[in-house]
A and B are shown apart, each in its own frame.
Chain A
Amino acid sequence: MSHEPYETLAAGYAVGALDGEDLAQFEAHLPGCAECQAAVRDAHDTLARAMLSAHPQIPPPGVREALVRRVGGAGRRSWLRWAAATAVVAAAAAGFAATWVAVRYEARLGQMARETAAVRERLARNEAALQEQVAFYRGAVELLRDPTTRVVDLRGQGAAASASGRMIWNDAGGGHLFVAGLLPAPAGKTYALWAIAGGTPRAAGLFGVDASGRAAHRIAPGSTAVQVFAVTLEPEGGTPAPTGPIVLASK
């Protein structure tokens, strides 16, 4: 018999697939054949490389604990380094079997770096928005500490009868307007706040409401004592004097 059929048997043997007559024949042949021994060894090495090229996964920590106990308490020294060591192993193992794994890892790492940068940017934006909100509410609280600060109720008018507003106003420090129950302004329109002193309305800023009908609006202090506040619906960009319907007004 030529040696060629044994090469096929060696492959089947290495993957554990031989059975029956083939298995008996090969097991009788193998101990005396250095060539087949080398072929089996080579096939096992190939299979190990292929199988170990998978994405590393940290096993449940209980396994290591149990093994450390079983071998008699050694390895405890490195116990605390477990998490760090395993992470190093996992990263290093990626390049362990073959180059293409390393290449895939690099692609993945690059993607992760980009994702991280995007997250960082989003966090920075969120933080800026939060800082702004904190400053806003802190300003309102500061105003409330001042005994000369007034809290003025604004009532919904006309079609906006169900809307309500509350103004925290200090003639010297300005104010904060909080609005609820107001429909978002139609396209091309915006809400305008007016501070009325001595019968003359002064423009006190434009604002929009969020989807739930709420708004918070900061007003700079004026030079005169304000008696009445009113909110009107105005064309986008605002007007020097109120022109649209009044939606909220204080008494």
Chain B
Amino acid sequence: MGTPGGELIRAMAAGDRDAFARFYDRYAPLVFPFVLRIVRDRADAADVLQDVFWEAWRGAAAYDPARGTPEAWIITRARTRAIDRVRAVRRRGETFVTPLDEATAGAPTPPGGDAAMRAEERQLVASALAQLSQAQREVIELAYYSGLTQTEIAERLEQPLGTVKTRIRLALARLREVVTPT
């Protein structure tokens, strides 16, 4: 579908604003639900999204295709900013720490739409992760969405640290199989 993401980033690095608009149009609808799932508030997610794409515009020259795909480049940035936002909000005491069951319950639902549609969206959001075992999914979600470290995850799940580390590695290996087109 049009120019590859890497070329758009290169054009952005050269100051091509139209390329930036296209980059945004292509990736924002994909990044937004991801950010929303972490920060769980539409207004916060919109703020984070703006920061992420602003940084992408500013940092386009530093993008090195040898170090990762454009998708990984933008999603890694989005995750960092989203988790920063969650921690900042928690520090302000505006929200409770997300309970474990809620953290693993799937994406927040967008306003509007019927219940069946929302359920289906949740299913789609969860579907790549849904291919993992419950135990594997749990560690990925706690680390990647909730920003917990391996030690925190081990405490939370009351599992030995070594088990958590192994589980993360196996979960990633499984996820790789799931998302690799056959």
Contacts and interface: CB of A to CB of B under 8 A. Distances in A.
Nearest to A93: B30
B18 A97 contact: no
Contacts of A99: 181-182
Contact of A19 (B42, B79, B149): B149
B120 interface: yes
Interface in A83-105: 85-86, 89-90, 92-93, 96-101, 104
B153 interface: yes
B16 to A, nearest CB: 8
A8 B165 contact: yes
Q: How large is the interface on B (under 10, 10 to 19, 20 to 34, 35 or more residues)?
A: 35 or more
Contacts of B178: 50, 98
B71 A55 contact: no
Contacts of B72: 41, 44-45, 47-48
A16 B28 CA distance: 23
Nearest to A66: B50
A49 interface: yes
Query: Which interface residue of A75, A85, A92, A99 has the most chain B CB atoms within 10 A?
Result: A75
A22 interface: yes
A71 B57 contact: yes
Contacts of B175: 46-47, 50
Nearest to A85: B25
Interface residues of A, number: 63
Interface string B114-133: 00000011001101110000
B134 to A, nearest CB: 16
A11 interface: yes
Q: Does more than half of chain A's interface fall in helix, strand or loop, or is it mixed?
A: helix
A124 B172 CA distance: 52
Interface stretch (A57-65, A180-188, A209-217): A57-65
B36 interface: yes
A64 B24 contact: yes
Contacts of B69: 45, 48
A45 B68 contact: yes
A66 B53 CA distance: 11
B46 A60 contact: yes
B50 A55 contact: no
Given A17-B143, A72-B17, A75-B17, A96 B30 contact: yes
Interface in B134-162: 139-140, 143-144, 147-153
